[in-house]
Amino acid sequence: MDLAVLETQESPELATSLDIEETTQQFFECMGEETAVDSLTYRDRLLEEYPDLMPVTERIWNFHDVLYGSSYLERSRQCRTRSWYVRDDADMSVAVHSNACRLRWCPMCAEMRKKTVARSCFDFLKDQGRVRLLTLTVKHGDKPLTDQLEFLKKCFIKLRNSVKWKRYVTGCVWFLHVKDNGANRGWHPHLHVLLTGQYVPQEWLSAKWRKITGESFIVDIREVYDLEEALFDACRYVGRPANLLDVEEDCRVDLMHALDGVRLCGTTGICKAISLRPPRLKDREGNYTVLGSYYAVHRLASLGDIQARQILQAERLGQPIPPGIFCPHVDEFDSDEHVRGLVNERNRPPPEVDTFSYRQEELLWTDVY
C-alpha cells in the first residue's frame, strides 16, 4: 500500500500532530494535602501518555477511512470529550466517568480494556491453584496476514479438541499478538495462553502442535509464579494486538484492516466465568450522583472553590466524599464574574454512550499506572 498516494486524499481537518495547547498545572493546599488542578481536558490528560503513538494511529485511521469507507477517525476524536466526576452512592467514592469510542487501536480505550481484563482474570485465576503460561507460534511466511490468522485459529481449536488437552487442561484464557518481522519478512502472529488444570508434558505438547500445524514444533510452557506480572504482559494485547510504532509504515493499514472483526482474546472451559468486556455504566450495580463536569470542577478549583477542591482531593486520594458537595456544569468561563451567577445543574446526567470509570479500572498495579 503506497501511503504517499493517500496523503493527497487526507481530510483537511486531520492534524499531523496532536493540537494540545501547552499548559501548566496549579497547586494548592487542600485539607492539609497538596492537590493538582488539571488545566487540561480529560482527553488531553490521557493523551499525554501517547505523544508519539496517537498521531500515528490517527493517520492510519484516516487512511483506512479513505480506503474502506469506515469512520474511525471521526469516532476516535469524540473519545473522552465528555467527562464527569461522579460519586458512587454506595461507598461515596469519587471517579471520572467519560464517553469512549472503544475502537480497536485507540490507546486510551486499549489501556482501559487491558486493566479491565487483567482485573477480571486476576480475580478468577488467583483461586485456581497453579496457572501455566503457554506460547503458541506458527512458522511465518509470505502468506497474507488474514490467512495466517485463520490458520493459527484452526490449529488452536484442533489442539483444544484433542483428548489429552482436555485431560490436562480445565480452562484457558488466550490472547492474540501480531508482530511485524520487518524487512519484508512477513507477519508473526502467535498466542499467549494462560492455562488452568494439571501439568502438561512439554514433549507431548510439542509433538502434538507439530502434527497439527505440519511444521511448527516450538512451544513454550512454564508455570506462572507472579500472576500479576504474567497478566501485565499478556493483557496488553487485548486492545492493541500490535504496537503500530514497531510496524513498518507501509504495512500499518493492511494490519489494521486484517484485524477488523478478529477476536483478540477468549476463554474456554472453567475460564468462561471470566468477563472480558468492560461493563457499561447502565449495567453497573448501584447509583451514581453527578458532582460536576471535569472542566467545571477543575476550573472552579483553580478559582478557589472549596467544594471543587474537595472533589479533586477525594478522587486523587481515593477518599469518600460526603453528600451535599457538587459543582455546577459549566460550558464556558469568561471571567470570575461569570462564575458567580452559574445555574445549578448537579442533576445533569453524564453521557449515556458507553461510559465507564477511569479510576475503577485502575485496581491492579496502581503503583505502575
Number of domains in the chain: 2
- Residue-wise pLDDT for 86-96, tens only, equals 998 888 999 99
- Confidence band of 284 (pLDDT split at 50, 70, 90): low
For residue 153, the model assigns a pLDDT of 93
For CA atoms 65, 144, 265, 188, the dihedral sign is negative
Q: Please indicate, yes or no, whether residues 120 and 255 belong to a single structural domain of this protein.
A: yes
How much is the pLDDT for 309?
Answer: 92
Residue carrying C-alpha cell 495462553? 193
Q: How far apart are CA 215 and CA 209, in angstroms?
A: 9
Average pLDDT over the chain, rounded to whole?
77
Residue identified by cell 482531593 is: 313
**What pLDDT shows up at residue 322?**
85
Average pLDDT over residues 68-84: 92
- Is 106 inside any structural domain? no
Question: Is residue 293's pLDDT more than 70?
Answer: yes
How far apart, in whole angstroms, are the C-alpha atoms of residue 303 and residue 280?
A: 34
Number of C-beta neighbours around residue 345 at 10 A: 15
Instruction: Reply yes or no on whether the pLDDT at 323 is more than 50.
Output: yes
Q: Is the pLDDT of residue 356 over 70?
A: no
- Report yes or no on 278 lying in a domain: no
Residues 299 and 193 in one domain: no
Instruction: Convert the pLDDT of each residue in 189-248 to its tens digit.
Output: 999 999 999 999 999 999 999 999 888 888 899 999 999 999 988 998 888 888 899 888
CATH of the domain at 250: 3.30.70.60
Q: Are residues 121 and 210 in the same domain?
A: yes
Boundary residue ending a domain (273, 308, 336): 273
Do 274 and 267 meet the contact criterion of CB atoms below 8 Å apart?
yes
**One domain, residues 182 and 304:** no
CA neighbor of 100 nearest in space, from 139, 48, 42: 42
Q: So what's the pLDDT on residue 326?
A: 76
User: How far, in Å, CA of 210 to CA of 213, rounded?
Assistant: 5
Q: Looking at per-residue confidence, does 29 or 141 come out higher?
A: 141
Of the candidate ranges 1-5, 278-282, 322-326, 361-365, the one whose mean pLDDT is the lowest:
361-365
- Average confidence (pLDDT) over 274-281: 74
**Which of 238, 273, 308 corresponds to the end of one domain?**
273
**Do both 128 and 249 map to the same domain?**
yes
Cα–Cα dist 28/22, whole Å = 20
Residues 117-150 have pLDDT tens digits of 999 999 999 999 899 999 998 877 778 889 999 9
Q: Which three cell numbers stand for residue 151?
A: 490458520
User: For residues 353 and 235, what is the distance between their CA atoms, to the nearest angstrom?
Assistant: 25
**Residue 338: band (very low, low, confident or very high) from pLDDT cuts 50, 70, 90:** very low
Domain boundary among 247, 273, 299: 273
Rounded to an integer, what distance in angstroms lies between the CA atom of residue 158 and that of residue 181?
A: 26
Does residue 37 lie within any of the structural domains? yes
123 with 150, same domain? yes
Give the pLDDT confidence score for residue 132 in this predicted structure: 95
CA atoms within a 13 Å half-sphere pointing along the CA-CB vector of 227:
19
205 in the same domain as 262: yes
- 164: its cell numbers: 489429552
Is pLDDT at 345 greater than 80 in this prediction?
A: no
Q: Residue 309's domain spans which residues?
A: 22-51+82-98+286-357
Of the segments 256-265, 277-286, 323-332, which one has the largest average pLDDT value? 256-265
**pLDDT at 59 exceeding the cut of 90:** yes
Q: Give me the half-sphere count of Cα atoms (radius 13 Å) on the Cβ side of residue 10.
A: 16
Q: Of 35-39, 147-151, 269-273, where does mean pLDDT reach its minimum?
A: 35-39
Do 215 and 292 lie in a common domain?
no
pLDDT, mean of residues 28-35: 42
pLDDT for residue 180 = 81
